[in-house]
Amino acid sequence: MAEISFPLPDLGEGLIEATVLEWLVSPGDQVERNQPLVEVETTKSAVELPSPQAGKVVRIHGGPGDKINVGEPLIVFEVPDNTAGIVGTVPKEEAPKRRVRLSAVLDED
Amino acid sequence: MSNATLESGAAMAEGTARRGVEQLSMQQALNRALDEVLAANPKALVFGEDCGRLGGVFRITDGLQAKHGTGRVFDTPLAESGILGMSVGLAMAGFHPIPEVQFDGFAYPAVNQIVCQIARMNYRSRGTMPMPITLRVPSFGGIRAPEHHGESLEALFAHVPGLKVVSPSNPHEAYHLLKYAATRPDPVIFMEPKSRYWQKGEVDFDSPDPAGSPTGGSPTGAKVMRAGRHLTLVAWGAMVARCLQVAELAAEDGIDIEVLDLRWLKPIDEATLAASVRKTRRAVVVHEAPLTSGLGAEVAQLITQACFDTLKAPVERITGFDVPYPSGDLEDEYIPNIDRILFGIQRVLEYKRG
């Protein structure tokens, strides 16, 4: 297994830090991509941060009321070795589905 | 190798230990091939964006830097023109560079180095400056990635004299084709189907091709992946697996389909292609790249030239569309799916002359 760290992203408009309001996940949780991770407050507004990827939460940084600077670690995920670092999503192997049927009279010449 | 098994018999008599068969993903098979190439050739170098410490965004170079050192497996700046430009110099100095361009769409900034230098340096220098460069390009779509991460550049590179182009369709092909490509004296564009990186398959380390194959055991030319009587599906890369699924479904309808993995897209194995279609008398080419001036046109012409008298229908092409590769949410609509391929087969089956 490999660990991937997700730093606090730039939340826009030149903000350099955010205050953690509430964590919506805990270490040990398996999260999906786009699942809300944490609610943080900036000087502009309170926002929920969606997860950039799927994985198991290993560590979270900062409790409610703590300030985190943009670019500092926010959360660390654990992912299988063979998916660490990839851009995109590992395709699911699905049973082939069809709607089209073939019909032909074949002359076996 | 840890899996090497010392068996008695023919293999030992020839002085080579049989290494047997393993279930590997294409990632692991490619990693194994690079590891062996680095071990066998002290002039081989592996480099690219994130290829060193991280082990590549697809883990293809995982562990290679730790094993072979930072002098032979290393990270480069995010500058594809530099990666390929450096490869030219290294090749001139006697090395065998095996660079990676992290994604298909990132090859565009290096087209000048690839086309104007790498492809023709040997020609320009009257054979005194060969370019033994194996350029690995994670290619094609299917992983819901952003723009420039799902493109199919085979026709672009196949059009350039001096380049060879190859694409493996499964872990076994990946292992053998990469080992072969990385020991050629010529530049080879090695297009890895990134949507197939994770599926496991059997890798027979001892034998690239079945005994008695027309290639004489070396991974050159095209390969029949499934024999059939009624129609030949021609594909490469990730589309081979899809065509094999289609062949299974067609069998339910009583249609017996042959699947030909072209493997080498430049040069194309005309003899194997023609032999297959002379037998089945019908052909459909499938690729992810856009239709117009895609490699399917070249394949269709080669078939027509060789099999015109016996073809029962014009060769069909089932391809991507003439649009920039779409974002991930739309790629299922873009990449040829099972029904589109079946429709193409049906059009060929019901074609009437006159």
Cβ pair B256, B228 in contact under 8 A: yes
Q: Which residues contact A106 (CB under 8 A, 6 or more apart)?
A: B230, B255, B349
ipTM above 0.90, yes or no: no
pLDDT band (50, 70, 90) for residue B274: very high
Task: Using the predicted structure, report yes or no on whether residue B26 has a pLDDT greater than 50.
Answer: yes
- Closest residue in chain B to residue A90, using alpha carbons only: B143
Task: Using the predicted structure, report yes or no on whether residue B15 has a pLDDT greater than 70.
Answer: no
Say if the Cβ atoms of B25 and A97 lie within 8 Å: no
Residue B287 annotated as catalytic:
no
Of B138, B140, B146, nearest in space to B295 by CA? B140
Cβ pair B298, B270 in contact under 8 A: no
- Pairing type for strands B134-139 and B264-266 reads unpaired
Range of the domain at A57: 2-83
The residue with greater pLDDT, A44 or B214, is A44
The predicted pLDDT at position A97 comes to: 92
Residues in chain A closer than 8 A to B342 (CB atoms):
98, 100-102
Here the tokens at position B200 are 């496991």
In chain B, what are the domains?
A: 26-204 (3.40.50.970), 223-349 (3.40.50.920)
Residues in chain A closer than 8 A to B243 (CB atoms):
none
Give the whole-angstrom CA distance, residue B295 versus residue B320.
12
Q: Is B249 on the interface with A (CB under 8 A)?
A: yes
User: Does residue A55 lie in a domain region?
Assistant: yes
Q: Which residues contact B53 (CB under 8 A, 6 or more apart)?
A: B65, B75
Three-class DSSP labels, chain B:
CCCCCCCCCHHHHCCCCCCCEEEEEHHHHHHHHHHHHHHHCCCEEEEECCCCCCCCCCCCCCCHHHHHCCCCEEECCCCHHHHHHHHHHHHHCCCEEEEECCCHHHHHHHHHHHHHHHCCHHHHCCCCCCCCCEEEEEECCCCCCCCCCCCCCHHHHHCCCCCEEECCCCHHHHHHHHHHHCCCCCCEEEEEEHHHCCCEEEEECCCCCCCCCCCCCCCCCCEEEECCCCEEEEECCCHHHHHHHHHHHHHHCCCCEEEEECCEEECCCHHHHHHHHHHHCCEEEEEEEECCCCHHHHHHHHHHHHHCCCCCCCCEEEEECCCCCCCHHHHHHHCCCHHHHHHHHHHHHCCCCC
Average pLDDT, chain B: 93
Here the tokens at position B222 are 């095209």
Q: Is B268 on the interface with A (CB under 8 A)?
A: no
Q: From the CA atom positions of chain B, what is the Rg in Å?
A: 20
pLDDT digits (tens, 9 = 90+) for B309-330: 999 999 999 999 999 999 888 9
3-state secondary structure of A81: helix
Instruction: Please tell me the total count of domains within chain A.
Output: 1
Task: Using the predicted structure, report yes or no on whether residue B283 has a pLDDT greater than 50.
Answer: yes
- Closest residue in chain A to residue B310, using alpha carbons only: A109
Task: Using the predicted structure, report yes or no on whether residue B25 has a pLDDT greater than 80.
Answer: yes
Q: Which residues contact B135 (CB under 8 A, 6 or more apart)?
A: B84, B87, B98, B99, B100, B101, B107, B114, B118, B187, B188, B189, B190
Q: Is A4 on the interface with B (CB under 8 A)?
A: no
How big is the CA angle at B181 (ends B88 and B272), to the nearest 5 degrees? 130
Interface residue of B147, B335, B349, B353 to substitute, partner A, most A CBs within 10 Å = B349
Three-class DSSP labels, B293-335:
CCHHHHHHHHHHHHHCCCCCCCCEEEEECCCCCCCHHHHHHHC
The predicted pLDDT at position B216 comes to: 66
Average pLDDT on B83-90 reads 98
User: Does residue A41 lie in a domain region?
Assistant: yes
User: Does residue A107 lie in a domain region?
Assistant: no
Name the minimum distance, in Å, from the CA of A34 to any CA of chain B. 14
Name the minimum distance, in Å, from the CA of B309 to any CA of chain A. 14
Give the whole-angstrom CA distance, residue B261 versus residue B251.
19
pLDDT band (50, 70, 90) for residue B8: very low
CATH number for position A37:
2.40.50.100
- Closest residue in chain A to residue B349, using alpha carbons only: A104
The residues that bridge with B145 in the sheet, in sequence order, are none
Say if the Cβ atoms of A86 and B255 lie within 8 Å: no
Closest partner CB to B338 (pick from A88, A90, A96)? A96
Q: How many residues does chain A have?
A: 109
pLDDT band (50, 70, 90) for residue A25: very high
The percent of residues in chain B predicted with pLDDT above 90, rounded, is 87
The predicted pLDDT at position B212 comes to: 64
Name the minimum distance, in Å, from the CA of B28 to any CA of chain A. 9
pLDDT digits (tens, 9 = 90+) for A71-85: 899 999 988 877 766
Range of weakest confidence among A96-100, B181-185, B210-214: B210-214
Say if the Cβ atoms of B25 and A82 lie within 8 Å: yes
How big is the CA angle at A82 (ends A80 and A88), to the nearest 5 degrees? 95
User: Which pTM value belongs to this model?
Assistant: 0.86
Cβ pair A42, A11 in contact under 8 A: yes
The residues that bridge with B98 in the sheet, in sequence order, are B46
Catalytic residue among B68, B149, B230, B287: B149
Name the minimum distance, in Å, from the CA of B37 to any CA of chain A. 21
User: Does residue A102 lie in a domain region?
Assistant: no
Burial of A43 (0-12, 13-18, 19+ CB in 10 A): exposed
pLDDT digits (tens, 9 = 90+) for B30-48: 999 999 999 999 999 999 9
Say if the Cβ atoms of A85 and B145 lie within 8 Å: no
Task: Using the predicted structure, report yes or no on whether residue B4 has a pLDDT greater than 50.
Answer: no
User: Does residue A106 lie in a domain region?
Assistant: no
Q: Is A106 on the interface with B (CB under 8 A)?
A: yes
The predicted pLDDT at position B1 comes to: 34
Residues in chain A closer than 8 A to B59 (CB atoms):
81-82, 84-86
